[in-house]
Amino acid sequence: MNNPTRESITLVTGVIGADTHIVGNRILSMALEEAGFKVVALGALTPADEFVKAAIETAADGIMVSSLYGQGELDCRGFRELCIEAGLDGILLYVGGNLVVGKQSWEDVEQRFQDLGFDRAFANATRAEDVIEQLDKDFAARAEAKK
């Protein structure tokens, strides 16, 4: 099997929980679309179960969760478990934004989100190009592992 093309990959994007900060998520969604990915954009104020429901309905390959209001760690607890319960065990999970309150070591924050089951965590103001580059690498690695 060859590496998947971007056009064959569907990603669900949205802003989790009570967060209304949509601009960064919209910029990322537009960049993903321009790069060739199929994007299902849920917008702001999205409960975790709505991400999962959208991923099932669209046969998504990945879910990209944004949070900018500092409560991402609380909102994302149990997210991977929701995916597993819904039969999405292997779905790629990314999270990014201003994920916690206060100044904290990014390495600690990143590790906490990986412990929550996210494959990647990105700090606020990460360039869309860097996220896309990582997506390409992660989907290529998954395709290679299936060989």
Q: Determine whether 115 is an active site residue.
A: no
The helix/strand/coil state of 91 is: coil
List the catalytic residue out of 21, 119, 136, 138.
21
DSSP 84: H
What CA–CA distance (Å, rounded) separates 73 from 67? 9
- Strand (E) positions, the chain? 10-15, 38-41, 62-67, 92-97, 120-123
| Block residue for tokens 């999405």 | 88
Question: What is the DSSP code (8-state) at residue 128?
Answer: H
- The yes-or-no answer on residue 21 being catalytic is yes
E-assigned strand segments in 42-137: 62-67, 92-97, 120-123
The C-alpha atoms of residue 133 and residue 22 are separated, in whole angstroms, by 22
What are the catalytic residues? 19, 21
